[in-house]
Chain A
Amino acid sequence: MGSTGKSKKRLSTARELTRVVTDYYLECHRARAEGRPVGWMPPMNGGIEIFYAMDLQPVFPENWSPVCAAFSLAPGHFEISEGMGYSRDLCGYLRNIVGYVHSDMNGPGVPLGGLPEPDMLMSFGGGCVPAMKIFQILESRFPRAKVFRADVPQVACEDIREHHVDYAVSEIHRLIEFLERTTGRKLDQERLHRTVELSDAACRLWDEIMSLRRCRPAPISASEIGIMFVMVTRQGTQTAVDFLTRVRDEVAERAEQGIGVIEDELVRLFWDNIPLWYNMGLFNEFEGLGGVVVAETYSAAWSLRLDASDPVRALALKSLMSYSLVSCLSIERRKEMVLKACRDYGIDGAVFHRNKSCVPITLGQDEIIRALDEELGIPSVTIDADHMDSRNFSHAQFKARTDAFMEMLLARKNG
């Protein structure tokens, strides 16, 4: 069983994140109180910018799951959903959110007041199966919510052609039409343009922050990756840009002054797959042995650019590419991305989380492990775990494997 452990944060801006998170959830509840329509949607698509451009409130149930994991609420939610007949073999995000919406959602013990009930549901066809099924289940849980049934082609980034883009563009137009009809608000094109510009600015800042991690010693590690909260929930807002600017400045300053995550950075590590949200402290365990996780695959999901000169097309492309980065990218492309990251960040060893809860990201890992070894001589270790369900994680096994791995990496360095 995995214990709940929070990670140690060194950035003052990362600590500021707590306020950013609280503000976001307060805003969600205020929206409800003020009669501003609340829509629940999956993350990583162009819907968020349209919502912000129309002063609608987006809520991300998938992103609520890490909050539940961090506050140890997930086990209770699993009990509820499993009691309803949802198999333990299903993604933990699905089991958690289903359990959550069938519990006392805004009850006294629920952190941040919980989620406000949706007026609208953006039920996607596209992305991974659990993400789609979550919304289909929500449709029956919230029968009064107006449902937009979206479609996004499930195509690998490198195979995207004009007809995929055209279809995604037509879906964005349909979404706008649905929102205008349902809420009685009109989308202001100038506002949309500005929102997409802000979204692009956030992505650019994200890239800058990520590339500062190339410095030795690394100024931030995966422990600080919670900053991606703003990429999930705040894309297209000035809040995200302001926060990320402050993070970028602080990280740049640390890099310039040679301030690392730990005093003596001996080994630089790469992390593949989603972190264990109920035990982010694991990243610090590497640090105790001189290892720093300086890069990871999932942060690449925000490494996109949006061309604001054609906002609708930019959002269609974002929807097409973001999800395929995690769910249907070819192994060739994934290999390329991981190998490039390992070269760029000077990686000594890679940690692969074989994630029982996320089949799309886990499938193909073995090929990448082989390529890392054969093409770059970088060794890897595989950890069997689950990003949501601590029952699928053994801390003792983790420790045994990573200690031996770190020992081997250190011996290689010294030899």
Chain B
Amino acid sequence: MHPHAAMEPFLEAVQYRRQRLEGAVSRGEKVIGYFCTYTPVELIHACGFLPVRIWARTGPAEKACAQVPGFICPYMQLSLENALSGEFLFLSGVVQAYTCDVACGCVNIWKATFPDLLVHSIPLPYNVSPEAGAYLRSCLEETVEKLVSAGGTYSDEALAESLDLYGRIRGILSALHEQRAQGTLAMTSADLNVVAQAFFAMDPVHYLMMLERLVADLNSCRSILAPGIPVLVSGSVVEDAGIISLVEALGLRVAADDLCTGLRAFTPASAAGQNPLEQVGNRIMKRFPCPARSRQSQRIPLVLDLVKSSGAQGVIFLFQKFCTPHLADYPAVCGALKDAGIPSILLELDGNAGMEAQALTRLETFAGMVGA
């Protein structure tokens, strides 16, 4: 039993996500998968589909290795392994915001391997400008067209409702992240990771109810977490909450994250715009940037701000192995942190559960160095 009773449904939502989604599909719902959290989930939802983030697994990629080389990130490799093992038979399609070369190539492989799925990639702009905004709106309109051709229906009203729903969810999740940065959140970051993962895998209406219950539970909770040395975790996909627990068990406290399974998925909660479609586009353009979709000069100051505002004493880079966008930015981010007197450590996730002894030793040394 989890110390917070309100956490139980989140744990279950993650544990039984496939069965529940299969159940939803058998009741007539349609599910669309996505990989990258730049994907406009509210648009998919407004068209009558349930958007869920495609998940990977731990262990070897036996089936996938006949289709992809061993030197791509385990997240994409093991998601394909899941798909080839029948994990995602409930999907009607994959709608994906263009992330990186690996995501693009793997989406192409999904398209070739599962010809009955709707597969659509949204070529997001890289720049932020009025022209880029107008272009992005056209891309979103094209996405609506694709979703409608796959049996969806669209109206501005429905999008306004979905925006409101997701805006509330993201608002609460952002507030939890904020409380965590201030050290006033009565839950661990490992739990917060589970809360985020449930968001990616379930119906948002139901999820919002669970989230509100969790917040009420946290508000009434008197337990104070053991104080730890605050650190920031930076990377892409961290699906294994166990890694975060491990960090926390070393006397460190994850005060903030720069992960696509964390803060980057929820910030900002919403954005203004003259119509719902423009609001979706503006939110994408204002999103806390990820290295795959931004320039170093734009992103590094924001990461430094995050370190400062959360009081992090060190940064743990938790990268998916072979993740080019993060690896290419790493020396520059690391250098900027060094100049600011912030130590950092790089750990790569190879798709296996847990952490190798050598990595654990390095992490322990790092914890000691920052004073844990």
**Known contacts A151-B125, A153-B125, A364 near B109 by CB under 8 Å:** yes
How far is the CB of B371 from the nearest CB of chain A, in Å?
24
How far is the CB of A170 from the nearest CB of chain B, in Å?
5
Q: For B101, what are the chain A residues with a Cβ–Cβ distance below 8 Å? A: 128-129, 327-328, 359-360, 363
Cα separation A332 to B100 with both chains bound (whole Å):
20
Determine the residue in chain B with the shortest Cβ distance to A162: B138
Cα separation A161 to B322 with both chains bound (whole Å):
32
Q: For B332, what are the chain A residues with a Cβ–Cβ distance below 8 Å? A: 136-137, 140
Chain A CB within 8 A of B131 CB: yes
Cα separation A155 to B105 with both chains bound (whole Å):
12
Q: For A130, what are the chain B residues with a Cβ–Cβ distance below 8 Å? A: 324, 328
Cα separation A171 to B105 with both chains bound (whole Å):
26
Partner of A89, one of B126, B292, B322: B322
Mark the stretch among B61-69, B233-241, B305-313 that contacts chain A.
B61-69
Chain A CB within 8 A of B135 CB: yes
Contact with A along B274-311 (1 / 0, CB 8 A): 00000000000000000010011100000000000000
Chain A CB within 8 A of B132 CB: yes
Partner of B296, one of A129, A137, A159, A327: A137
Chain B CB within 8 A of A125 CB: yes
Are the C-beta atoms of B295 and A363 separated by less than 8 Å?
no
Number of interface residues of B (CB under 8 A): 46
Q: For A84, what are the chain B residues with a Cβ–Cβ distance below 8 Å? A: 331
Number of A-B contacts (CB under 8 A): 146
Cα separation A282 to B109 with both chains bound (whole Å):
30
Q: Which of A22-58 contact B (CB under 8 A)?
A: none
Are the C-beta atoms of A133 and B328 separated by less than 8 Å?
yes
Partner of A90, one of B66, B111, B324: B324
Are the C-beta atoms of B296 and A359 separated by less than 8 Å?
no
**Known contacts A90-B327, A366-B68, A330 near B111 by CB under 8 Å:** yes
Chain B CB within 8 A of A350 CB: no
Cα separation A102 to B71 with both chains bound (whole Å):
27
Are the C-beta atoms of B123 and A164 separated by less than 8 Å?
yes
Q: For A331, what are the chain B residues with a Cβ–Cβ distance below 8 Å? A: 108-109, 111-112
Are the C-beta atoms of B325 and A126 separated by less than 8 Å?
no
Q: For B139, what are the chain A residues with a Cβ–Cβ distance below 8 Å? A: 163
Are the C-beta atoms of A139 and B297 separated by less than 8 Å?
yes
Q: For B125, what are the chain A residues with a Cβ–Cβ distance below 8 Å? A: 125, 151, 153, 167
**Known contacts A125-B125, A149-B127, A151-B125, A363 near B135 by CB under 8 Å:** no
Q: Which of B208-231 contact A (CB under 8 A)?
A: none
Determine the residue in chain A with the shortest Cβ distance to B299: A136
How far is the CB of A362 from the nearest CB of chain B, in Å?
5
Partner of B112, one of A128, A155, A367: A367
Partner of B325, one of A133, A166, A329: A133
Determine the residue in chain B with the shortest Cβ distance to A149: B127
Chain B CB within 8 A of A354 CB: yes
Are the C-beta atoms of A151 and B327 separated by less than 8 Å?
no
Chain B CB within 8 A of A123 CB: yes
How far is the CB of A159 from the nearest CB of chain B, in Å?
8
Cα separation A132 to B111 with both chains bound (whole Å):
26
Partner of A360, one of B104, B297, B325, B331: B104
Chain B CB within 8 A of A85 CB: yes
**Known contacts A149-B127, A167-B135, A129 near B324 by CB under 8 Å:** yes
**Known contacts A123-B295, A367-B109, A163 near B142 by CB under 8 Å:** yes
Cα separation A329 to B134 with both chains bound (whole Å):
25
Are the C-beta atoms of A90 and B68 separated by less than 8 Å?
no
Are the C-beta atoms of B296 and A140 separated by less than 8 Å?
yes
Cα separation A332 to B113 with both chains bound (whole Å):
11
How far is the CB of B74 from the nearest CB of chain A, in Å?
13
Cα separation A356 to B105 with both chains bound (whole Å):
15
Q: For B331, what are the chain A residues with a Cβ–Cβ distance below 8 Å? A: 84-86
Q: Which of A67-112 contact B (CB under 8 A)?
A: 84-87, 89-91, 94
Chain B CB within 8 A of A154 CB: yes
Cα separation A42 to B152 with both chains bound (whole Å):
40
How far is the CB of B337 from the nearest CB of chain A, in Å?
12
Chain A CB within 8 A of B321 CB: yes
Are the C-beta atoms of A359 and B105 separated by less than 8 Å?
yes
Q: For A128, what are the chain B residues with a Cβ–Cβ distance below 8 Å? A: 101
Are the C-beta atoms of A363 and B68 separated by less than 8 Å?
yes
Q: Which of B55-92 contact A (CB under 8 A)?
A: 66-69, 71-72
How far is the CB of B277 from the nearest CB of chain A, in Å?
13
How far is the CB of A97 from the nearest CB of chain B, in Å?
12
Determine the residue in chain A with the shortest Cβ distance to B131: A170
Q: For B68, what are the chain A residues with a Cβ–Cβ distance below 8 Å? A: 363, 366
Contact with B along A144-164 (1 / 0, CB 8 A): 000001010111100101011
Q: For A356, what are the chain B residues with a Cβ–Cβ distance below 8 Å? A: 69, 71
How far is the CB of B83 from the nearest CB of chain A, in Å?
14
Q: For A126, what are the chain B residues with a Cβ–Cβ distance below 8 Å? A: 126
Report which A residues bind B (CB closer than 8 A): 84-87, 89-91, 94, 123, 125-126, 128-130, 132-133, 136-137, 139-140, 149, 151, 153-156, 159, 161, 163-164, 166-167, 170-171, 174, 327-332, 354, 356, 359-360, 362-367
Report which B residues bind A (CB closer than 8 A): 66-69, 71-72, 98, 100-102, 104-106, 108-109, 111-113, 121, 123, 125-127, 131-132, 134-135, 138-139, 142, 292, 295-297, 321-322, 324-325, 327-332, 334-335
Those 10 A-B pairs whose CB atoms lie nearest each other, nearest first: A125-B126, A363-B105, A163-B138, A85-B331, A133-B328, A167-B135, A331-B112, A153-B123, A360-B101, A151-B127
